Amino acid sequence: MRLPFLYIEQSPERGRGVFTAEAIPADTVVETAPVIVMSPEERVLLDQTLLHDYIFEWGFDNRGCAVALGWISLYNHSATANCEYFMDFEEESMFIKTVRPVEPGEELFVNYNGSFDNGDPVWFTPAAPGSD
């Protein structure tokens, strides 16, 4: 499930990103998708490929990984994200929910550290200040 007014567009200095054509209230689920779960051994191999930038740590010990289907892997990172992602280990799925109202034309961001307001550094260099 994905809201029908979401779209993919180039995001300044980030590649592709997910945007909205309509206003979205806070606490709205914008997308739900299944994931493909991989073992810790498979993760070692994926970490050597471009897919490393699109997988999520998976499992209660974070040793495995998962590739989210749908557009979930295309939501860009922001330390001041307007969305948050949630994992359902039993159902092998993920969903994205807004944490504040989002305006038409705005990009939807998640914080790659899990919680939308987690200020810990990420493993890559974020986009330049002012573009976040």
| Residue 19, token pair as written in the block | 């945007």
CA 72 centroid distance within chain: 5
Question: Which is nearest to 32 in space by CA: 78, 83, 79, 69?
Answer: 69
CB atoms within 10 A of CB 21: 12
16-26, pLDDT tens digit by residue?
A: 999 999 999 99
Separation of alpha carbons 113 and 21, rounded Å? 27
On average, the pLDDT of the chain sits at 87
Q: Please give the pLDDT value at position 128.
A: 45
Q: Enumerate the H helices of the chain as residue ranges.
A: 40-46
28-56, pLDDT tens digit by residue?
A: 999 999 999 999 999 999 889 888 888 89
The lowest-confidence range among 28-42, 63-77, 107-121 is: 107-121
pTM for the predicted model, two decimal places? 0.83
Q: Say yes or no to pLDDT of 63 above 60.
A: yes
95-110, pLDDT tens digit by residue?
A: 999 999 999 999 999 9
Q: Please give the pLDDT value at position 119.
A: 55
Q: Say yes or no to pLDDT of 62 above 50.
A: yes
CB atoms within 10 A of CB 121: 9
